[in-house]
A and B are shown apart, each in its own frame.
Chain A
Amino acid sequence: MCLYRVLVLSVFLSITQAVDRSNFKTCDQSAFCSRQRAMKPGQSSYTALLETLELSDSHLTVQLLNNNNKVLLLLELYRLQGNMTRVKINELKPIKARYEVPDVLITDPPTELMSVVAQDEHRVVLSLGGEDWRLILSAQPFRLDIMEGPQVLLSLNSRGLLAFEQLRIRKDTAPTSGEEEEAEEEVDQPGMWEETFKTHADTKPNGPSSISLDFSLPGVEHVYGIPEHADGLRLKNTDGGDPYRLYNLDVFQYELFNPMALYGAVPVLLSHNTHRTMGLFWLNAAETWVDVSSGQGSSEVPQTDVRWISESGIIDVFIMLGPRPNDVFTQYSSLTGTQAFPPLSSLAYHQCRWNYNDQEDVSAVDQGFDEHDIPYDFIWLDIEHTDGKRYFTWDNNKFPQPKDMLQGLLDKRRKMVTIVDPHIKVDSSYKIHTEIRSRGYYIKNKDGGDYEGWCWPGNAGYPDFTNPEMRKWWASMFAYDQYEGSMENLYTWNDMNEPSVFNGPEVTMHKDALHGPWEHRDIHNLYGFYVQMATAEGQIQRSGGLERPFVLTRAFFAGSQRYGAVWTGDNAAEWGHLKMSIPMCLSLGLVGISFCGADVGGFFKTPSAELLVRWYQAGAYQPFFRAHAHLDTPRREPWLFGPDNTALIREAVRQRYTLLPYWYLQFYHAQRTGQPVMRPLWVEYPEDIATFSIDNEFLIGRDLLVHPVTDERSSGVTAYLPGNGEVWYDVHTFQRHDGAQNLSIPVTMSSIPVFQRGGSIICRKNRVRRSSSCMENDPYTLYVALDSQGKAEGEIYIDDGHTFKHKTDKQFIHRRLSFTANSLSSSVARIWSSYPNCRRNGSGLLKEYETQDHKLC
């Protein structure tokens, strides 16, 4: 075991640096981050003015006074349904409104009654429900503590790092009136009113506006989340290094084990120990940095301190108190929604490349899959399919008859995805551009003209997706009569939506660009979220609200799970990147985004046949399963590496197809409950410390444990099988193993170590056909893995696989399967109204389930 760990470490160390770090800011180079981080823990300068405290049914408000400059803040506290507390802090009287993130919360979170338990001049004690849940608001210095009995679960501002830069008038432009306040003279620091990075100036007309707050988590050693970073599952101590950065960026050839920002940002952090799982959701879309510091707190109890720093907006934080991992997922999804239930086919295999050159190429690749008897559902077209990178168009020479091509795929029950990016070529003969321009839908530059930047098409404008009118118009562009050459089996991929601006600061948009009244600074991390939202809406609308959309996005924010899938961006054909795909998707799953995948094979560079095979084997067991490759790399369709490798890849893809019913069930659950599909082991075994740092294996749902082979020339892996008293079965050999052990597994090139939990029933479809749609009427095979008591339980979920009828008409079957005393039975899990396929057999559904017959229809 020790030796194994050492070997893994050495592989990681040998990875060379590829990213050009100088293109991206460190905290020191980001004026507000460096300003805030210069402030060290100590006594807070804020006092809660308890005399201003007001308690209504839904919330409590109290003013906070900054003793240094006498600026007043307003604190709002909400007790939310489902064991959550919301803390909002804003200026009491800002000179202009500060940005509050809209559209991310699915509703205004329902509140519960708060009551004062005790109060004196130093503190107020509030009840959070239950027997002994308390919130203590201390006045001088201001701090909040959330208690369970005598235990402090979490403290705010206990390290005194609350800092709130109030909006102000620039001194050299302010009228010199006699209204001198008593406040101490605040000295302007460099970078408050303008900032230059490389050659890019940020004019900052609103001056400094950053915010910061610290949280202490006593008894916590393990924290997770705040994706997207190319780093391990468990967050690292950031002392002495840069904080984790959340700022959606198009990072060329990103580096592993690094807190640098990547394409997406979800400001949600989870803490976990054997007793409790909690979550912090920092609802702020501006550039954000997160410091994590774990160590011994007072009295030798381990403690983790977390500090959030954002450039603008307000403090709006949701404290999710768990206590079980599942509770946190439920709490978070009650705020931001659950994973959209994808079309079944989108859980199958996707074949992508930058670029399939023309219709003949598409047809030849499609044919190749049939010739080699490898199933696939989607073939993808990258930017070269367009007429000069004008999205919603086709290159007339290469794709003269897109509908013929799509019909050809439809005839094989297959589908296509085309890319539609949010940068629009500035070209007066391009309809999309002229419409957006004439309607005034483009983001504006600081001087009020249309913002323009360089991207794939050359000079491009960026539609203002924060504008609901714009989003409505964008959605209408996906109508079959608007997007010429589109058909019902054409879906969409939103890339470059950080947004990527080749000639902008840090390859993105200038922060002083304008979205109506707001600066890009305020909304940056939301842009990609809105792009995917509008695109998914377009797909729903084109089908008259009937069909489920499928949209892949690179940039994302909290709530993006509602609109489709994400992938981990432009990775590389290296073993380290294959390994990293696991913690990256696990981290996303923890914060609601279950439909995650990494480019199989690696985007940049050329994989060896061995790496490609291993990546297919790992990808077949990750939620979004798509092979992709850079334009400059040699072709790598699965059959180009000799018959042996073709057979290995075929087998991996076939395994995926047989398990599609199980994947579909997991996404059904994810949609209903917010539980991640791909899970870290600790989520299911929260008391087993050995699982807390594992990120080279994972669970799919509760019942499948996967430990992909991610080392070159591997002859074996050591998988940790969790659970005292649990039994696990090798799904290939049916060999039984006990839980709570490290199992050494010898591997060959065909091995994909996967285990089914004893006590589970998994439904498969073993007739693997050309595409998932071809398998819709095929029989299921139940794999019943008994636990030590000889029992097993499972579920089956069936619907039409692609419409909303499961919701609107309750057309689905959801039954609980149970095996006990050598007999299998099924019972209804949820009542449905009808399901057409069942009706075809003419049997009465209700009667069937009443008889508890294991026949489903």
Chain B
Amino acid sequence: MSCALLLLLTSLALAMGTGTAVEIQRPRGVPQSKRQFYEENKPFTCLDGSSTIPFDRVNDDYCDCRDGSDEPGTAACPNGSFHCTNAGFRPAFIPSSRINDGICDCCDTTDEYNSGATCQNTCREMGRKERESLQIMAEITKEGFLLKQQLIHEAKRAQEDKQGKLTELQGSKKGLEGKVEALRTVKETAEDPEKEAKERHLKSWEEQKELIRMEKDKTRMAEAFLELDDDSDGYVSVAELQSHLELDPDSDGSLTETETQVRCLLFLPLKSREDVPPTVQTPEKREDDELSMPPYDTETQSLIDGAYIHLQSLICGPEFIWICRNLEKEIGFDFGPSAEFAYLYSQCYELSTSEYIYRLCPFNRVSQKPKFGGSETNLGLWGQWAGPEENLYSVMKYDHGQGCWQGPNRSTTVKLTCGKETVVTSTSEPSRCEYLMEFTTPAVCQEPASLDEVLHGHTEL
């Protein structure tokens, strides 16, 4: 009923000529592969089989087939597509709405046969350019892929090393744990005699050198403390302890904060226990001390030594755990299918723009620092690999950066592309506080197909 009343009168053609500018063999816009469906002078059946029409209604600028297949060379069907041969370059399909729209889409100009647009045939030039850039890309890929193999090799070796070290450490840790436990018992039993011995010793010392102790002893204690208290604020800080390399347990030349914290736990009681001479900390000073206390008797000394060793062991416990944890963390990272990204760990890469210096520390964080003063902004902490399913390792995501006013926390997406060098090539902020970084690395280079293979199939003549 509704059909009877609502009529559609289509193709009230205004100013549309149907002149044909280019003579071609098969119906316009049909690819070679579908040539056989368009037989001249035979009824044409829509490719979806929905209907059959006389052949003169193919490409007559009126849409008959639901699938658009009767108008491969005109813009009549909304869902049609047009095939350009593009000899010298790559053939392509374009939506039929781009036929005769005044814009040159096909490099062979075949899409603009009746629009008045003046298109140049650029296929040969484009083909040449594409071959050139493919060649360059292929070379980069080739070299990059070689570098990647090296990276994989190194990563494998490093991984094995670390795994070995970890296993070793875990073994000795187990042993030490027993030892620490044993020492704890020893300590507990040793502490009482030590204390007694000390008290005994001090008592006789006080008896013999009462006056000297009265005048000097206190000063000496204070000096020992002052040795550590660099800024004389009455407290021994972490930084102050870190400057005393003699306290460095792993002898790597520096005291990490964790190490220091371990130390701190041990030192802080010393500060309050003025009655214990600073034997551990400044043994060399004692030798020059003219007013030194006579040495402890052997028994006392050995008891103290015993306690010292056991203290050392206590230190070792947490250190081991710390080292092990770091190793575990590093081994546990997803550095790619062949650990090819492992070399980026603990490295940082910078890019300087007109306003900022951007810094990418892979698997750690991304940051931005204004060139002309101002504090650094955290653009995100390592989150996860975030590429598409088939290419997971092409994108890194860093999130939970510094918050934005009225907005989300800053985050950065890092797009990885194949390159010989490891460089940050560009940064942008497509959305407020959502950064995009482009990063080249050999680690994403794919095994190169031969150049012939790359170019093959891109030309249909």
A: residues with CB less than 8 A from B are 357-358, 360-361, 373, 397, 411-413, 631-635, 727, 729, 733-736, 756, 758, 766-770, 773-775, 777-786, 790, 798, 819, 824, 837-838, 840-841, 854-857
| Cα–Cα, bound, A358→B78 (Å) | 33
Given A779-B13, A782-B8, A784-B9, CB of A632 within 8 Å of CB of B404:
yes
B406 near A632 with CB under 8 A, answer yes
Answer whether residue B7 sits at the interface, using C-beta atoms and an 8 A cutoff.
yes
> Is B432 at the interface (CB under 8 A from chain A)?
yes
Closest to A605 in B: B406
Contacts A/B (CB < 8 Å), 7 sampled: A729-B2, A734-B6, A769-B75, A769-B101, A774-B101, A780-B14, A837-B15
A856 proximity list for chain B (CB < 8 A): 12, 14
Shortest Cβ distance from A767 into B: residue = B75
Distance in Å from the Cβ of A429 to the closest Cβ of chain B? 19
**In residues 49-75 of chain B, which contact A (Cβ within 8 Å)?**
61, 75
Proximity string of chain B (1-27) to chain A, C-beta cutoff 8 Å, 1 when within and 0 when not: 111011111111111110000000000
Known contacts A632-B405, A632-B406, A774-B103, A736 near B5 by CB under 8 Å: yes
- Give the residue name and chain of the B residue nearest to A353 (CB): B431
Contact B431 A633 (CB under 8 A): yes
Q: Which residue of the partner chain, among A756, A790, A837, contacts B14 with CB atoms under 8 Å?
A: A837
B295 interface contact, C-beta 8 A: no
* CB contact between B8 and one of A733, A774, A783 (< 8 Å): that residue: A783
List the 4 closest A-B pairs by CB distance, nearest first: A774-B101, A837-B15, A786-B5, A632-B407
Q: Is B281 an interface residue (CB 8 A)?
A: no
Cβ 8 A contact of A779, one of B8, B11, B408, B428: B11
Query: With A770-B103, A784-B6, A790-B5 given, is the CB distance from A357 to B97 under 8 Å?
Result: no
Minimal Cβ-Cβ distance residue in A for B407: A632
A196 to B: closest C-beta gap in Å: 31
Partner of A635, one of B10, B354, B408, B430: B430
Chain B residues with CB below 8 A from A412, complex form: 103
Q: Which residue of A lies closest to B432 (CB)?
A: A632
CB distance from B445 to the nearest CB of A (A): 25
Contact: B10 with A736, CB < 8 Å? no
Q: Of B7, B61, B431, which one neighbours A634 at CB under 8 angstroms?
A: B431
Q: What is the size, in residues, of chain B's interface with A at 8 Å between Cβ atoms?
A: 41
User: Cα distance A600–B5 when bound, in Å?
Assistant: 35
Task: Decide if B7 touches A784 in the complex (CB within 8 Å).
Answer: yes
Contact status A758-B5, CB under 8 Å: yes
In the complex, B98 has a CB within 8 A of chain A: yes
Find the B residue at minimum CB distance from A798.
Answer: B14
- State the B residues within 8 Å of A (CB): 1-3, 5-17, 61, 75-76, 78, 95, 97-98, 100-103, 115, 354, 404-408, 428-434
Which chain A residues lie closer than 8 Å to B432 at the CB level? 631-634
Chain A nearest CB, measured from B447 CB (Å): 29
The answer to whether A767 and B76 touch across the interface, beta carbons within 8 angstroms, is: yes
Contacting pair B406 A779 (CB below 8 A): no
- List residues of chain B with CB within 8 A of the CB of A840: 15, 17
Inter-chain CB contacts under 8 Å: number: 123
Q: Is the CB–CB distance between B6 and A785 below 8 Å? A: yes
Known contacts: A632-B405, A633-B431. The answer to whether A785 contacts B12 by CB under 8 A is no
B8 touches A784 (CB 8 A): yes
Q: What A residues does B433 contact at CB under 8 A?
A: 632
CA distance A114 to B115 in the complex (A): 61
Q: Which residues of A contact B16 (CB under 8 A)?
A: 777-779
- In the assembled complex, which residues on chain A have CB atoms less than 8 Å from the CB atom of B13? 779
Q: Which residue of chain A lies nearest to B9 when distances are taken between CB atoms in the complex?
A: A782
Extra inter-chain contacts (8) besides given A767-B78, A781-B9, CB under 8 Å: A361-B430, A632-B405, A736-B6, A781-B10, A781-B12, A783-B8, A798-B14, A838-B14
Contact of B12 among A767, A770, A779 (CB under 8 A): A779
Taking a contact as CB atoms under 8 Å apart, the answer to whether A768 and B14 are in contact is no
The residue on B at minimum CB distance from A813 is B14
Report the separation of the CA atoms of residues A824 and B12 in the bound assembly, to the nearest whole angstrom.
Answer: 12
Q: Say yes or no: B5 contacts A778, CB within 8 Å.
A: no
Q: Which residue of B lies closest to A731 (CB)?
A: B6
Given the known interface contacts A634-B434, A777-B14, the answer about A411 and B8 at a Cβ–Cβ threshold of 8 Å is: no
B12→A780 contact, CB < 8 A: yes
CB distance from A107 to the nearest CB of B (A): 37
Contact A774/B102 with A633-B432, A856-B12 known, Cβ cut-off 8 Å: yes
Closest-by-CB residue of B relative to A360 is B428
Contacts of B1 in A (CB 8 A): 736
| Docked CA distance A397–B430 (Å) | 16
Q: Which of A361, A634, A798 gathers the greatest number of chain B CB atoms within 10 Å?
A: A634
Q: How far is the CA of A824 from the CA of B17 in the complex (A)?
A: 23
Output the residue of A632, A783, A798, A837 with the most chain B CB within 10 A: A632
Interface contact B15-A841, CB-CB below 8 Å: yes
In the bound complex, residues from chain A placing their C-beta under 8 Å from that of B8 are: 781-784
**Nearest-neighbor residue (CB-CB) of A838 within chain B:** B15
- Choice from B97, B408, B431 contacting A769 with Cβ under 8 Å: B97
- Assembly CA distance A293 to B434 (angstroms): 51
Indicate if the CB atoms of A777 and B5 lie closer than 8 Å. no
Report the separation of the CA atoms of residues A379 and B398 in the bound assembly, to the nearest whole angstrom. 31
The residue on B at minimum CB distance from A786 is B5
A residues in contact with B6, CB < 8 Å: 729, 734, 736, 756, 783-786
In the complex, A69→B349 CA distance in Å?
82
Does the CB pair A777–B15 fall under 8 Å? Answer: yes
Q: How far is the CB of A817 from chain B (nearest CB, A)?
A: 9
Once bound together, how far apart are the Cα atoms of A842 and B407, in whole Å? 61
A756 — which chain B residues lie within 8 A by C-beta?
Answer: 6
State in angstroms the CA–CA spacing of A729 and B97 once bound together: 28
List A contacts of B429 (CB < 8 A). 357
Q: Is the CB of B5 within 8 A of A768?
A: no
Instruction: Name the residue among B6, B11, B78 with the largest chain A CB count within 10 angstroms.
Output: B6
Answer whether A357 and B9 are a contact pair too, CB < 8 Å, given A798-B14, A841-B17: no
A766–B78 CB distance below 8 A: yes
In the complex, what's the smallest C-beta–C-beta distance from B378 to chain A, in angstroms?
A: 18
Give the docked Cα–Cα distance between A413 and B434 (Å).
32
Please determine whether B5 and A785 come into contact, CB atoms closer than 8 angstroms: yes
Q: Hey, which chain B residues are within 8 Å of A778, CB to CB?
A: 16, 75
- What residues of A have a CB within 8 angstroms of the CB of B405 in the complex? 632
Kindly report which residue of chain B lies nearest to residue A730, judged by CB atoms: B2
Which single residue of chain B is at the shortest CB-CB distance from A355?
Answer: B432
Task: Note all chain B residues with C-beta closer than 8 A to A632.
Answer: 404-407, 432-433
CB distance from A559 to the nearest CB of B (A): 36
B411 to chain A, nearest CB (A): 10
